[in-house]
Amino acid sequence: MSTTAGASLRPLAQSLKALTLRPIQRRAVTDYASLRDNLPRKVGMFGQKKVFHSPQADEPRRHIKIHAPLPAPASKTPIESLTSLQLATLDPTGAKQKMFSRHNPDSVKVGDILQVRRKNGEQPFAGVVINIRRRGVDSAFLLRGQVTRIGVEVWFKLYSPLIEGIDLVQRTEKRKRRAKLFYLRKPEHDFGSVANIVGQYMRQRAILRGEGPKNGQQGQRGGKTGKKGGKKN
């Protein structure tokens, strides 16, 4: 700002006696060259602090109600604890968890043949496991089988209360090199019907449990016993 501007402002400032104009007036006559050395390096941070002073800053602070901290969560991993809580009701024996656990060397792997018995009176569905989805209570597995020579794939929720039991009918001969066996959908890799293998397994199990083949049908209804029978084979 030049001296002419300062001269024009001076009478106005005197008449108003405004405090706001005074720093400007003072600045107008400042020798910048000498001031530069005295000012802190960052003018924007320190030099202008008082000029842009908030009017409320000198007033006492408003009373802000400070709430007591919330009680600490029961565990540091709430989702995990919720999952274990839900599994305690959905899978009280832990048999299904163990059957699909990664840490269990005897767990179900892709390529195994499973049979799922349902509580709503539907036909049991059997097929090759082509995908396992491990997501806590939402865990599921994809079975591929055939019904009247038509390929059918069904996702089952592992912990669904509508599932009466899961039988491990046959293990895969060799460990599959893939986690998801979608190639089984191709005609050249299709496993075909598993009805023969399942039928053989059912007959064998009926003999092992000392039941006639006709009583074997009744024996299937026992949920947990059926599952254990599946694991032995």
Partner 1 sequence: MIQLKSMLNCIDNSGAAVVECVQVLKMKRAAKVGDRIVVVVQKQRNLAADLAGAAAAAQKVRRGDISHAVVVRTKKKYGRPDGSFVRFDDNACVLINKAGDPMGTRLNGAVAQELRGKQWSKILSLAPAFV
Q: Which residues bind partner 1 (CB under 8 A)?
A: 122-123, 125, 140, 147-157, 160, 162, 185
Closer by beta carbon to partner 1, 84 or else 160:
160
Q: How far is the CB of 80 from partner 1 (least distance, A)?
A: 21
Specify whether the CB–CB gap between 3 and 29 falls below 8 A.
yes
Q: How far is the CB of 138 from partner 1 (least distance, A)?
A: 8
Specify whether the CB–CB gap between 169 and 197 falls below 8 A.
yes
| Backbone phi, psi, residue 81, to 5° | -70, -35
Considering only the C-alpha atoms of the chain, give the largest distance between any 2 of them, rounded to a whole number of Å: 118
Query: What residues have CB less than 8 Å from 190, skipping those under 6 apart?
Result: 151, 184
Q: How far is the CB of 163 from partner 1 (least distance, A)?
A: 9
Closer by beta carbon to partner 1, 25 or else 146:
146
**Residue keyed to tokens 């986690």:** 179
Give the span between the Cα atoms of 56 and 163, in whole angstroms.
Answer: 67
Closer by beta carbon to partner 1, 82 or else 147:
147
Residue 118, H or E segment: strand 113-118
Closer by beta carbon to partner 1, 21 or else 147:
147
Q: How far is the CB of 63 from partner 1 (least distance, A)?
A: 53
Closer by beta carbon to partner 1, 155 or else 183:
155
Q: How far is the CB of 124 from partner 1 (least distance, A)?
A: 12
